[in-house]
Amino acid sequence: MNIEQINVSILNRRFTIGTPEAERGTLLQAVDLLNQKITAIQTAGRNMETDKVVIMAALNLTHDLLKQINENKSLAETQIGGKIDALIELCDSALK
């Protein structure tokens, strides 16, 4: 796995980050999303300190991620439950 060094800008600060070549695009998307969240928070709370803006952006992104994980988990549980019910019905039919 080759690690590529890429330069990104967050809050007008430059960072060099090492990432596997295959994950470069995803990392750049993450940087763009973080910058969008930061900009939205700065616009809403004009006089908010930078560290608070970054913490709020991280909290918002983490919250969004957890919501998505929980929604996927619920969907998977529903699908598994449906398959179990179908298997029970199939077994009942076979035993009759």
Residue type, 53: V
Q: What are the DSSP calls for 8-27, one per residue? A: EEETTEEEEEEEEGGGHHHH
Instruction: For residue 87, name the pLDDT band (cuts at 50, 70, 90).
Output: confident
pLDDT, tens digit (0-9, with 9 covering 90-100), for 21-74? 999 999 999 999 999 999 999 999 778 899 999 999 999 999 999 999 888 887
Domain 3-95 belongs to what architecture? 2-Layer Sandwich (3.30)
- What residue spans define the domains of the chain? 3-95
Greater confidence (6 vs 89) lies with: 6
